Chain A
């Protein structure tokens, strides 16, 4: 009896192993295969670019077909910028990365060694074909009378922003606030004092920009949302016209969402040429117009002129000139033991 039972157990084990292998094989087949003839480009991007690339991808496909006679299809992945960067390092095979800030692509170059460290020189304008900035979104009628950064730290004002340790957009927010503090107080010490005061007015610290927009818009928490300009326009337009107003502060920061070909992956897929053409296409007047329609600021001066009325004029500092580049800013402000840890834990 025992031998028979052992036999049975053994047989079952063999069946189990077989089923497992078969299942994985089937899954592998259905997952991997690429269509013959057509090129497939994987664009790993951050959250708010969905509509933008929905507009640009078909236009580029038509352009590419006309130029080379070949078809190109797209696989899009969206998520928090830092998380997406991590996924590419862990093996998500992006041909191009279109993320919220240069630092997240630096991380791919540094930790994943998937593209050269000087990737930012590969394309014009710091490899940022569109820009944005940081503005305020307030409730209809601006009941708290918020006009500038100074108003955010008045008694009774609740400010919504995300955690700069985890969110790309939140880092831009933090640096814009710092720029104001430095200009108003004249020193880094004054900037630190201002930012510390500002974060005492933050009731909820979400992990990413989308999360804080939802907190402000959907849950109705807070008097002012510090936000990407394109997010603010989108929230204003999509989530109830007439419920919110955009306020342009006296100083802000030029946010440069970066794009890059992930050269190691593109080489492996044989997509180097089309990936490069795709990113260069972003600088054409057609793409720049789509960019402006999706509330990003276009780089092309002629298109920018055309959409001048849409975007408020704001004096802007830049990450390279005023903060010494992302690597330095990251280390000074957001790494463990940096300025943010100091001001936020000593609340």
Chain B
């Protein structure tokens, strides 16, 4: 089929567009505006003060640190896994694909509890960790583990369909012309998948910064130390500090918006859209 407009009547088209816009307005725009208006209810001063407390700053720092560790890890993993799945045949491939999807289907709370069961004081490795004075749960490594687990599928799930569609002709051509593995990867595969990869990384980053459930289970909620931004929002809300809670929430929303805008700008700058080949 061509990309020509469909044959629906103008009325049906208008109705569809209206439904989509109203839906968007009610379920996305309105809540977002509510967050910002609540945060600024007492003006910009209290808003900035709330972000300037040591606990809020520590939460922001921790959230950025967690994203900075877990996103590159999952980027490398995602590329490696999609490469393996789409370019080779090997036993257990179907199992690998299923496992990659696992974090999507498991409730985040369960994901967190898995790590408590493994690394908690009474967990599988608990005694060994205590003996060697290593802290995983209720410390930064536990939060990183939970976040990596939760954001596992994002990059791979973006890349696998894309790389399947592209096939392996380009790589085979490059290698038959004498390129080695790295050259093939840098000059052929990576340019082919860059938009998909970027999109996956952005989604992965948004979730890494926003994850609540799994992180809540393994965090221990120590103020200024193991509270990420979403956890800090909940605590402030529970302490009736609504301006503070919504100030941090709006910053979190802002970070998400910035990543989306960055993606749009990049696409526009290169005149390409995600998934297009070079």
Contacts and interface: CB of A to CB of B under 8 A. Distances in A.
Contacts of A76: 222-223
A184 interface: no
Interface in A1-52: 1, 4-5, 7-9, 11-13, 15-16, 19-20, 23-24, 26-28, 30-32, 42, 47, 50
A28 B69 contact: no
A12 B140 contact: no
Contacts of B137: 90-92
Contacts, number: 112
A77 B135 contact: no
Interface string B76-103: 1101100110011000000000000000
Most buried by A among B80, B130, B138: B138
Interface string B126-144: 1000100011011111001
Contacts of A7: 181
Given A27-B144, A77-B223, A92-B138, A238 B83 contact: no
B76 A28 contact: no
Contacts of B72: 19, 23
B185 interface: yes
B245 to A, nearest CB: 12
B244 interface: no
Contacts of A9: 80, 83-84, 88
B138 A87 contact: yes
B223 A75 contact: yes
Contacts of A112: 121-122
A114 to B, nearest CB: 9
A6 to B, nearest CB: 9
Interface residues of A, number: 42
B135 A23 contact: no
Contacts of B69: 23, 26-27
A19 B185 CA distance: 19
Given A16-B80, A47-B238, A77-B220, A8 B182 contact: yes
A97 interface: no
Contacts of B120: 90-91
Contact of B222 (A19, A42, A210): A42
Nearest to B224: A75
Contacts of B144: 23-24, 27
B73 interface: yes
Nearest to B220: A92
A5 B221 contact: no
A89 B225 CA distance: 20
A239 interface: yes
A158 interface: no
Most buried by A among B134, B220, B226: B220
B175 interface: yes
Main secondary structure of the interface of B (DSSP, over half): helix
A91 B138 contact: yes
B190 to A, nearest CB: 13
A93 interface: yes
Interface string A70-96: 000001111100000001011111000
A27 B140 contact: yes
A75 B222 contact: yes
A208 to B, nearest CB: 9
Contacts of A50: 239
B77 A16 contact: yes
A205 B238 CA distance: 17
A239 B172 CA distance: 68
Nearest to B87: A5
B105 interface: no
Contacts of B83: 9, 12
Contacts of A239: 240
Contacts of A19: 72-73, 76
Interface string A231-273: 0001100110000000000000000000000000000000000
Most buried by A among B123, B139, B185: B139
A247 B11 CA distance: 61
Interface in B165-222: 172, 175, 180-182, 185, 220-222
A180 B181 CA distance: 79
B116 A90 contact: yes
Contacts of A8: 181-182, 185
Most buried by B among A1, A23, A47, A89: A23
Contacts of A93: 135, 138
A79 B135 CA distance: 21
30 contacts: A4-B180, A5-B88, A11-B181, A15-B76, A16-B73, A16-B77, A19-B73, A26-B69, A27-B69, A31-B139, A31-B140, A31-B141, A31-B225, A31-B226, A32-B135, A50-B239, A75-B222, A78-B235, A87-B221, A89-B122, A90-B121, A90-B138, A91-B120, A91-B121, A91-B122, A91-B123, A91-B137, A92-B138, A93-B138, A235-B240
Given A19-B72, A92-B137, 12 more contacts: A12-B76, A23-B72, A30-B140, A31-B225, A50-B239, A75-B222, A77-B222, A78-B235, A87-B220, A90-B121, A90-B137, A112-B122
